[in-house]
Amino acid sequence: MHNQPKVMIFEKAINNNIKFNKMKKLALLVAFVCVASVTAQTQYEKGMTKAFELWKNKKNIEAVQIFERISTAEKENWLPPYYAATVEIISAFGVKDEAVLTAKLNKAKTFLDAADKLSENNPEILMSYALLNTAYIAFDGQKYGMTLSGKNVAIYNKALALAPNNPRVILSKAEWDMGAAKFFGQPLEPFCKDVKKAVELFKKEEQTIKFYPYSGLDRAEKIMKNCEKKSSQN
């Protein structure tokens, strides 16, 4: 009878030790997951930064390759395929060979489609689809203008309905409208108010997501200056 309390104390100690070990293992597991998450995030950030550096230095092929590699690792992230597409689209402007242009834009569309599957009805991705169409139109307006201009109008209207205060959507649509007005010999001033609105929204926009395509303010301000210059001349 005298040994019973000792046995109970011993059992309690064992149970406490088991609980402690379980808690210790759980803490170690949580720590491991956190470290792994931070490491993965760092690798992602390093890769994206490297790709942007290559793109900035006009090493487009290498930049696309890195964005593509990142997209295979970041399977739920729409940004890497989005940027891979964007590099291909922007570098297509000025291309003289239609076969080269088509190859680049087909590749870009594959990347955009991948991004779109990860983030449907994303206004940033929609703007890139419109830019892709514009690259075709810029290459040969007579061949591609009739079929793709209407598609772009639909894209801009959809994006504006989804994100009426997105400065990139407002600016892109304003530029498109200005291009159409210029083609038909119409005044550009009516669209300057949209550019002004885009500038204001760019300045108010909170940049909270790393590598999100927040850019566009510089271009908007440049277009706004041209608007003001033309307005003062009238």
Domain boundary pick from 153, 172, 191: 153
**What is the reported pLDDT for 163?**
98
Question: If pLDDT is split at 50, 70 and 90, which confidence band does 41 have?
Answer: low
**What is the reported pLDDT for 230?**
73
Count structural domains, the chain: 2
Query: Residue 191: which domain range?
Result: 164-234
Q: Judge whether 194 and 174 are in contact, CB under 8 Å.
A: yes
Tokens found for residue 1: 């009878």
Over range 102-129, report the average pLDDT: 99
139 with 67, same domain?
yes
Query: pLDDT by residue (tens digit) across 150-181?
Result: 999 999 999 999 999 999 999 999 999 999 99
Domain boundary pick from 153, 183, 218: 153
**What is the reported pLDDT for 40?**
52
Over range 36-59, report the average pLDDT: 84
176 with 140, same domain?
no
Indicate the DSSP class of residue 1.
Answer: -
Q: Is the dihedral of CA 203, 208, 154, 80 positive or negative?
A: positive
Q: What is the percent of the chain where pLDDT is above 70?
A: 81
Domain boundary pick from 153, 177, 212: 153
The residue type found at 16 is N
Q: Is the dihedral of CA 103, 65, 217, 115 positive or negative?
A: positive
Question: If pLDDT is split at 50, 70 and 90, which confidence band does 33 have?
Answer: very low
Q: Which residue has the higher pLDDT, 32 or 86?
A: 86
147 with 79, same domain?
yes
Helices (H), 57-166: 60-73, 79-92, 98-118, 123-139, 141-162
62 with 139, same domain?
yes
**CATH of residue 65:** 1.25.40
Question: If pLDDT is split at 50, 70 and 90, which confidence band does 23 have?
Answer: very low
Query: pLDDT by residue (tens digit) across 183-233?
Result: 899 999 999 999 999 999 999 999 999 999 999 999 999 999 999 887 667
193 with 114, same domain?
no
Instruction: Establish if 38 belongs to a structural domain.
Output: no
109 with 196, same domain?
no
Instruction: Establish if 91 belongs to a structural domain.
Output: yes
Q: How far apart are CA 214 and CA 124, in angstroms?
A: 10
Q: What is the percent of the chain where pLDDT is above 90?
A: 78
Instruction: Establish if 133 belongs to a structural domain.
Output: yes
**What is the reported pLDDT for 12?**
47
Question: If pLDDT is split at 50, 70 and 90, which confidence band does 38 have?
Answer: very low
Instruction: Establish if 24 belongs to a structural domain.
Output: no
**What is the reported pLDDT for 42?**
81
108 with 64, same domain?
yes
pTM confidence score: 0.81
128 with 174, same domain?
no
